[in-house]
Structure 1
Amino acid sequence: MRRTSLVAIAAAALAAGALTATSTGVATADPAPFVLRGSVNQLYVLDATPGTALELVDSGNAVVGTGTVDTAGSLAWRELDKGTYTVRTTSGPVESDTATVSDYADPAPAQSFYDGQTLPEGFSYLQTRDGTTLSVNVVFPSGSGPYPTVVEYSGYDPSNPANTRMAQIYTALGYAYVGVNIRGTGCSGGSFRAFEAIQSLDGYDVIETVAAQSWAKFHEAGMVGISYPGIEQLYVAQTQPPHLSAISPLSVIDDTYQGTLYPGGILNTGFAVPWATDRDKQAEPYGQGWEQGMVDGGDTVCAANQDVRLQNPDLLALINDNPFYTKAVGDPISPMLFVHKINVPVFLAGAWQDEQTGGHFPSMLDDFTGTPHLYATMVNGSHTESLSLGVLDRYADFLDLYVARRTPTATKAFVGPVVASSITGVSGLQMPKGLDYSGLSYEQALAKFEAQKPIRVLFEEGAADGQPSGSPLPRFEKSFGSWPIKGAKPTAWFLTSGGELAAKPSTTSPRKARVRSYRADASALPATTYTGSSGGIWAAHPAYHWKQIPAGKGLGWITPPLKKTVVAVGTGSVDLWIRTPRARDTDLEVTLSEVRPNGKEVYVQSGWLRASHRKLAAARSTVISPVHTNRKADAQRLSNKRFTKVRVELFPFAQPFRKGSRIRITLDAPGNSRPLWAFDTISHGERVQVATDRAHRSRIVLPLVAGVDVPKQAPPACGSLRSQPCRTYQG
């Protein structure tokens, strides 16, 4: 198989002025016994003697770093200021030539740098601006080029030639597929840290190199991918590659800290920590496994690219060292803070009950202020729901219109059911009837697509009429003009001492009011509601184990039967007045459910809060969306004498509560609410009291949306809704 000439790439880079001879280790004087490579706010030492102690010296001859060469002969320094540096041994000493460290804000390489690289069909490498090579796998669709082109870019294994899952989807839809491993993973060079800034610039270089290929139609490329490669699209697109046509991030996050890692300030040990552990392991030398086969087959580039892996920072240590939000660590990995920079069309989709990334992503939709077109589809369901039939229909149209620049084709009608069936195990599925582009020119089709309201909510996925229970299709849908939903009415129900949710607040004085309490015992229930395989949870009917809260271990409140059907769409706020007589902190979990007239209780959504993290970001918080600062300086212990108000955010959701149903919330210690999420909780039996009198108006506030036409037929059967467990209600 033909490979890219790395010598030619390096020569082109030097000619373009993107790299200097000193930054790639080309000596101008007697060479030191190691090689330096300057990078973007980083510097690598390569081919050094293991165990050698080295000093990093800036242009003012000040020592700004020290380190010891690892067993692979490498050493890396991160977070360096722009400038020139030398490295010297502490014994001797022997000093290197000068290496140049660039800055994230520096201009991109000249176009000639990208034009000088050739990517053949199959496996090869491309070079980024600092000389690092990234492994690439190119798969063409049938027919002759040039082809509309999409890029999947992540730390999984998109460049692994044996990984054909995603390539098959996009080539079947008529696109050239380019899978690229981020630095420090697979056969790519460099050192890895999750969501590091340099990966965004690498992504810029990836898009520009791919777009420069003769086989890339329009000399542009779009981006695709679900989960990790979906999130990476947001990081890359913020750098505004000139030849990026569009992005389609699926099942993503809006805020790494609050949305997934520390929801409510409580460490997510069920998904987030294991995910980080897996990323660390897979970024070790030959950590993904397939690299060894490439090296055994003679790939010397892949072998050399393993050498810097021992310099990867400890991701778990970074997590454990930052239990509070800090701007330095948190801001760069919070997409909501930078998606305003994205200036290409965006198609975004995900599920409210996503068992992995969590479903908090809609909270950033109104931050996409720079894109000319944002289309978002939200649905109840799991992590893979963003590839369900109801989503893929509009998703395929988006790619056709904004990447391929063609009238949407009928190919999706064949591809969609195959994808959905392979994920869920449900056969015989068909693509739902979507927009009809018959006889339309490209311009007419584009106008028709853009005339649709951009925010699309699919309701009751799993209960589509005429389809098997649990199928990845919705029963009905509704589109809106913006997010949050304009016109949504914040509606409050007040907690009572008798366990009811009342439309009006209590008038009882604090002295006469009865205080309810529970023992916050996380060990009283299983940590998660599912124990099967990660793929098994995407099937039509996973074996959920959503347990009842044992007596005394939690509290519940419920409305009377609803007199009319209401639909809630958005975030919710549960405002509680609590006291912990013998503790100064506690972890809270609130779960929202629907109790139907037939006695079945359906899970809707949850929210979490460590009480000491209750400080609100006042400018960002609303009556239905409490936003916490999660900063160490704002943390405050609870009083064990007086009641304290805390506001727990219910993650975004959309749910019709039909006439005759009752809305319920439960309050307990974290756990037993999500399939994979578990928590490093401080709750180990402390008594938590909840006040509900006229001076302490505990309440739940939900955003009710008018104008949603809920089907008149009976509610979905218990267990049919995707990722919404169902059980028999016990008051």
Structure 2
Amino acid sequence: MRSRKPPLSSRLMRATWRRLPAARYEAGWEPGLAVPAADGTPLVTDHYFPRAQGNFPTLLVRSPYGRRLPWSPMYGMLFAEQGFHVVLQSCRGTGGSGGRFDLWHNEAADGRATVAWLREQPWFDGTLGTVGPSYLGYVQWALALDPPPELKAMVVQVGLHDPHALFHTDGALRLENALAVGVGMEYQHRGTAAFAGATLRLQRRLRDITTARPLRGAYVAALGRELPWLDGAMAHPDPEDPHWRGASPGEAAERLAVPTCLITGWHDGLVDQTFEQYGRLRRAGCPSALLVGPWTHTSALQRGWPEVFAESLAWLRAHLCDDPSGLRPTAVRVHVGGEDAWRDMEDWPPAASGTPWFAAAGGHLTARTPADSAPLTSFRYDPADPTPSVGGPLISPKAGPRDNTALEARADVLTFTGPPLTEPLDVIGPVSARLTLSTDTGYADVFARLCDVDPHGRSVNVCDGLAGLRTGRQAPSEVTVPMSATAHRFAAGHRIRWQVSGGAHPRYARSPGNGQSPLDATEFTPVRVTLHSGSALILPRGAGASRGGEGRV
């Protein structure tokens, strides 16, 4: 085996990390191997390994983002130092690998071909695991559609399995996600400088791009050229459209027996995909674990990396090395916001009933059921001045909890606020909103958000969601807005706040208000949205929640 030290840049980055376990071995590096795909296409691969005698299990890490920073130190070096062979491979058409990158169409076959190549390597002992975040999680699910017998463990970190849900929510385009994915896929595998330059260019031109009429093709100003795969993803909002056929390998979890650990953050733009896969794994009886931290899509691999790495390493050692000493005693561990503490749980979501808090006149939020469903209040959503997005679950650095005070001062944002809590309130599980709405056009988006208001009046987002009203009728309609899930403690003296608005731009493309496609619309229609009595924020109440009357749950 031709052995080198890992790249200097990787060793320098490795030296900056703290709170990581001490290395057990010195890492070696065998770069630039050509692994043949089934059609002969060379897939460029780097091999990291412990520089020691003996048998070690292998981890397969397949990436469309290149093989150097940060993947080389985070996955190649760190896991090799802990006693694993690491095969770090550039996906087809990226990072020097041959062929054309065709989003989500080649990963299953190329993963199987790589495992076939592994079987021929003298250092491969027949024990295989997979690990990685985001699209590096997608390729794991693709391999799991027909898992090779050598696959003994998976660790999917802030992972993707449903491409449609990455780009669309109930007919609304997740515009900011789409642009971030475009930059990442087009530039990250070209190196740090190219990726940083494209990211800065996008931020400088973001407003012009996201307010262009029509929106279609406007991204070219930042990305440099048209990307057919991105155009296709943005132009097909219907999950049943043939465009998405075969794109999601999520069904692999429904029959999987490979022990799988899932890691996400409360403000990860893919958090709901992780919850969906965890539910599938549990129903299938697959050994599984779930870790949910106070992270975004990117901070999970930065500020959260010590916890993410420790969780991943413990799972892989338990199932590849027969060493369960690092496993925690429960299947689920979640970080509780507001309390800033970790809580171990037997399952997710916890058993809970939904408790309604009703919108009331004067901007109040009350536990009392209203007597009727008469019109309560309204707002005007103007696509020419769209309600801006502030934080929340994204895959960009703008994600996370933020002060919503300025947002809530806008005339197109309704707020309903409960009284100061007399004792702490734990909200743990899925959150939703049930609204009765009428509009003057029959077309609108509805954005709902749960916030924690401290005694000084600072309002910070906890979780949120968006749904579309596209009946074309002006009569009142019932709309349910899934608002993801949370584990959050509202402290005594704090208040619960519910926001209702007509969008969050540019996180979501603005609704044209007239039924036209948000991608192709050139004319926009302001919409008057009327909220009726009986509309409610639904909070989970379980065995661990506070109990009581008004001001409590």
For the superposition of Structure 1 and Structure 2, which TM-score range results when normalised by the shorter chain?
0.7 to 0.9
Distance 2:78 2:65 in 1: 17
Distance 1:555 1:573 in 2: 16
SS at match of 2:80: helix
Q: 1:651, CA displacement in angstroms?
A: 1.5
Q: Distance between the aligned counterparts of 1:264 and 1:332, measured in 2?
A: 20
Q: Are residues 229 and 207 of structure 1, via their aligned partners in 2, closer, same or farther at CA, if it must alter by over 3 Å? A: same
Change over 3 Å in CA distance of 1:383–1:274 after alignment to 2: closer
Partners of 1:456 and 1:287 in 2: CA distance = 35
Question: What aligned pairs does 1:505-654 form with structure 2 within 5 A after superposition?
Answer: 505-508=369-372, 513-522=374-383, 524=385, 527-529=388-390, 547-581=406-440, 583-612=441-470, 637-640=471-474, 642-654=475-487
Q: Deviations over 1:181-229 (max 9, x none)?
A: 1222222222222111x3112112223422542223x322211111121
Percent of aligned pairs with the same amino acid: 23
Could you say which residue in structure 2 is the equivalent of 1:686? 527
For residue 163 of structure 1, report the CA deviation from its aligned partner.
4.5
After superposition, the C-alpha distances for 1:524-550 in whole angstroms (9 at most, x for unaligned) are 46744379xx99769xx9997873234
Aligned 1:459-478 pairs, distance under 5 A: 459-460=336-337, 475-478=340-343
Which structure ranks higher in relative contact order (CA pairs < 8 Å, sequence separation ≥ 6)?
2
- Distance in 2, matches of 1:515 and 1:315, equals 44
The question of 1:237 aligning with 2:178 is answered: no
TM-score by length of 1: 0.59
Structure-2 residue corresponding to 1:482? 347
Q: Counterpart of 1:229 in 2: which secondary structure?
A: helix
> Which residue does the alignment assign to 1:317?
231
Alignment match of 2:363 (pick from 499, 515, 520): 499
* Distance (Å, rounded) in 2 between the aligned partners of 1:339 and 1:660: 43
Q: CA deviation at 1:232?
A: 1.7
Shift of residue 407 of structure 1?
5.6
* Aligned equivalent of 1:223: 130
User: Is the CA contact 1:386–1:392 (under 8 Å) kept in the aligned structure 2?
Assistant: no
* 2:60 pairs with one of 122, 142, 151: 151
Q: Tell me if the contact between 2:375 and 2:531 (Cα under 8 Å) persists in the aligned partners.
A: no
Aligned-partner Cα distance in 2 for 1:129–1:595: 56
Is it true that 1:366 corresponds to 2:293 in the alignment?
no
Whether the 8 Å CA contact 1:211–1:221 is kept in 2: the answer is no
- Give the match for residue 331 of structure 2: 454
The answer to whether the 8 A contact 1:280-1:314 is kept is no
Residue 108 (structure 2) pairs with residue 200 (structure 1): yes
Alignment RMSD: 3.4
Contact 1:207 1:244 in 2 (8 A): no
1:332 pairs with one of 246, 263, 267 = 246
Query: Corresponding residue for 1:33?
Result: none
Counterpart contact for 2:388–2:407, Cα < 8 Å:
no
Give the superposition deviation at 1:342. Answer: 2.6
Q: Which residue of 1 aligns with 2:24?
A: none
Deviation at residue 131 of structure 1 after TM alignment? 2.1
Q: Once the two structures are superposed, what CA deviation does each residue of 1:578-598 show, in whole Å capped at 9, x if it has no partner?
A: 1112x1201111111011234
Which piece of structure 1 moves more, 324-333 or 643-652?
A: 324-333
SS of the residue corresponding to residue 242 of structure 2 reads: helix
Q: What stretches of structure 2 of length at least 5 have no aligned partner?
A: 4-28, 195-225, 514-524, 547-553
What does residue 257 of structure 1 align with? 164
SS of corresponding position for 2:140: helix
Q: Which residue of 2 aligns with 1:665?
A: 498
Correspondence for 1:396: 313
Of the three residues 295, 299, 302, the one matched with 1:381 is 295
Q: How does 1:7-26 map to 2 (within 5 A)?
A: none
- Which of the pair has more CA radius of gyration? 1
**Cα distance change on mapping 1:162 and 1:564 into 2, 3 Å:** closer
CA contact (8 A) 2:317 2:323 kept: yes
CA 399–457 in structure 1, closer or farther in 2 if over 3 Å, else same: same
TM-score, normalised relative to structure 2: 0.77
Do 2:180 and 2:396's aligned partners in 1 also have CA atoms closer than 8 Å? no
The Cα of 1:179 is off from its aligned counterpart by 0.6
Paired AA for residue 131 in structure 2: V
**One-letter code of the match for 2:540?**
P
